[in-house]
């Protein structure tokens, strides 16, 4: 969970400004600032993910992260199951010795008993026998977003944007630019 906090020195200034506004307007100011902070946090999170993991497309990440408005702010939900190794992760090489998959950047791991089926799906045998077969999957999207480096990047960028947008929205609501 990413939590955003304001500097204590800024709270008094914000409270004075909020006293002059109607309650509904204050809620809209907070919603607008938090929505912008959530989109910035999502962007920072996807950039951090792409620095750590060998993900092919950012659209995969954005489709699993939704931003919803709430009465008192914004909620960011991360959902998604385990992703197929062939679809979302860069395949370093298909060698005669087996399938090598790189989930994290600068790492290449051989998948034991791995092969590419005739339909192009990455599979592996569960034992010495021909069957049963099992698909090769990477980590789930929420698991990747749970990485400490990704969480720190999201929290830092989101908090900076929240403070910046809150001041901007308050100024706008009070009749400034």
Global pTM exceeds 0.85: no
Q: What's the pLDDT at 128?
A: 82
Q: Once rounded to an integer, what is the mean pLDDT over residues 122-134? A: 84
Q: Say how far apart CA 23 and CA 160 lie, in whole Å.
A: 25
Cβ atoms of 160 and 7 closer than 8 Å: no
Please tell me which of 2-16, 83-97, 159-173 the model is most confident about, judged by mean pLDDT.
159-173
The per-residue pLDDT for range 21-71, each reduced to its tens digit, is 787 888 888 899 999 999 999 999 988 988 888 876 566 666 788 888 887
Q: What's the pLDDT at 91?
A: 58
The total of other beta-carbon atoms located within 10 Å of residue 15's CB is 9
Name the burial class of residue 1, with classes exposed (0-12), middle (13-18) and buried (19+) by CB atoms within 10 angstroms of its CB. Answer: exposed
């Amino acid at each position: 969970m990413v939590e955003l906090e304001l500097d204590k020195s800024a709270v008094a200034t914000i409270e004075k400004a909020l006293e002059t506004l109607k309650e509904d307007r204050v809620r809209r100011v907070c919603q607008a600032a938090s929505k912008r902070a959530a989109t910035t946090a999502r962007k920072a999170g996807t950039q951090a993910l792409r620095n750590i993991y060998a993900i092919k497309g950012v659209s995969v990440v954005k489709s699993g992260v939704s931003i919803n408005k709430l009465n008192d702010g914004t909620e960011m939900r991360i959902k998604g199951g385990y992703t197929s190794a062939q679809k979302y992760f860069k395949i370093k090489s298909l060698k005669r010795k087996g399938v090598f998959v790189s989930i994290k950047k600068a790492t290449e791991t051989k998948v034991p008993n791995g092969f590419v089926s005739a339909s192009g799906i990455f599979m592996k045998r569960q034992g010495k026998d021909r069957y049963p077969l099992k698909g090769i999957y990477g980590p789930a999207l929420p698991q990747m977003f749970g990485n400490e480096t990704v969480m720190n990047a999201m929290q830092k960028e989101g908090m900076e944007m929240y403070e910046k947008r809150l001041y901007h929205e308050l100024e706008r609501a009070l009749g400034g630019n």
